[in-house]
Structure 1
Amino acid sequence: MIFLRGTVDGDIESIYKNIHAQYIKKYYPGKEKEQWENHKRWYKFLIKSPSYALYTVTNKDEEFLGYVKFEIDEEFAIINIFLIEEMRGKNISSDIIRLSMEEFTFKNSKISVIFAYILEENTASIKAFKKVGFVFDSLEEYKGLEHMLFIKTLD
């Protein structure tokens, strides 16, 4: 069973340890403390910013399983989902996407379109987003890399 709740400052360390730490060790060796401080500042900003909505994914025991981020721009939003490695491949991503979109759109009724940028090799994400009604639109550059753009128009 999975649960979703708004991300709070207390989740920042779990996000770092479970999602970002390996990347930091690989690409910023010897700068882990500096990167941790940057991470804390960035996520504190995201949590408070009206331009973002973050949701933490947990189990019934409140163990961190991942998070979902929406970047808001006027009438559209960009969704990103991040799960800990142990939760990948368990066919729960589409449920998490659906649940987070329901919560997000309930609080942000002006949103009419949600975009998902997915790397072509991430077949699990492509399948999960298609399962909840996202449709492939085009190939787009996103954050410096070519991604497949999937779109979900809200009713």
Structure 2
Amino acid sequence: MISFRQAEPADVDLIFDWANDELTRKNSFNSDPVKYETHVTWFNNQLQNAGSIILIFFSDQVACGQVRFNMGNETIIGITIAREFRGRSLGKIMLKEACDFFFTKFPKNEITAYIKEENKASISAFEKAGFLFYEKRTVSNCESVVYKKRKEEIK
């Protein structure tokens, strides 16, 4: 069973560990390891920022990943799945549930995902979660794809 809750201060180390996972770094637009002090500052700022939502997901009460929304000129979504939970098709479920939650609060917002073109697993999860291909774009010198989702596209 999948459940989720909003992140809280005690999640700082969990998110730090996920952020520094080898595959997570490879699939990030900045692949450098994250320094702990930098992470703590960033994480605390995210928790205080009304334009940020971090959802921690659980599979049978074990933390399995997170979905993050950052609202600014556009709402950008990101997902991380813990190493031991990859390959179980959780990405699609997490993305759908996170978007449903997000749209109850911000029904008029459009959600945008930027994904490295080589990250086929992430592209597949976003497509299965109802995101639609928008365009190809170079992001931080990486060939990328952009996917978007609106409330009326929730399936």
- Please state which band the TM-score falls in when normalised by the shorter chain: 0.7 to 0.9
The residue number in structure 1 matching 2:81 is 83
Identify the residue that residue 136 of structure 1 maps to in structure 2. 133
TM-score (norm 2): 0.83
Q: Is the 8 A contact 2:55 2:68 kept in 1?
A: yes
Match for 2:84: what amino acid? E
The answer to whether the 8 Å contact 2:64/2:85 transfers is: yes
1:19–1:83 CA contact under 8 A, matched in 2: no
Identity of aligned residues (%): 26
Map 1:1-155 onto structure 2 (within 5 A). 1-20=1-20, 27=32, 35-61=35-61, 63-73=62-72, 76-111=74-109, 113-155=110-152
Which protein shows a greater Rg? 1
2:77 partner SS = strand
- Secondary structure in 2 aligned to 1:121? coil
Structure 2 Cα separation of the partners of residues 78 and 48 of structure 1:
17
Say if 2:66 and 2:80, in contact at 8 Å, map to a contact too: yes
Stretches of structure 2 lacking an aligned partner (at least 5 in a row): 26-30
**How many angstroms apart in 1 are the aligned matches of 2:49 and 2:138?**
25
Number of equivalences: 145
TM-score by length of 1: 0.83
Tell me the amino acid that sits aligned with residue 80 of structure 2: F
What RMSD in Å do the two structures reach over aligned CA positions?
A: 2.1
